[in-house]
Structure 1
């Protein structure tokens, strides 16, 4: 699934908003934990953990080409695994940011649950809600 949002910053400035540390600025409760200290949270191989709704997710930077895109692998043990890629393209008003997410359930129970279907159904609205959160951070 893929959806886009607009950020009123050029890709060079907007890119940071979609990194582990950058999301701290605008994601409510966004507090990544780095098991090993790292000066660059966009370096391939960098790992961090997040916790939300009682689930802990491990994230890994798979690849990065600043300021055009960054790709993450994510695993929520016993629930789902997949990739998230954030692509940025310059526009007259800033950046168009496309977030592509590919998730796979890890157990039969997770596959039969409707959580991924519900997530997919609301994905575009979810990604577009980031515009409001980011705008609130930037003003």
Structure 2
């Protein structure tokens, strides 16, 4: 049973869904409420099936370090909290297992964080491919990022 808050309708405490496909009542209102609730908890990543929605926090969050690289290494999508590393990991391991090229599309409005998301994704891919060995490969790929951007 939810608590009564002045100016708000009575209802149960909002549950946090890390995959919008799991919402019991999927509509625009519940979708936006869920995203807002997660964002307030600094959970900027949310799945819609195998699609990852990212809300730019406009600040650095401590979720991009070797601990997270290792945590998301070789895990099935949806088993852990949504993260860009999970998407990169699935593509990387699919490429190795199927021996076929993989594609990740990053789309959004100007200022939405596409470049930063691309950098995090490339960082994870290079970490997976090198398994911790330092190399200049990551910097070369990151430097190519602006060339790859479509305007």
Q: TM-score, normalised by structure 2?
A: 0.26
> Highest CA radius of gyration, 1 or 2?
2
Q: TM-score, normalised by structure 1?
A: 0.28
More helix by share: 2
More strand by share: 1
Q: Which has the higher contact order (CA 8 A, sep 6+)?
A: 1
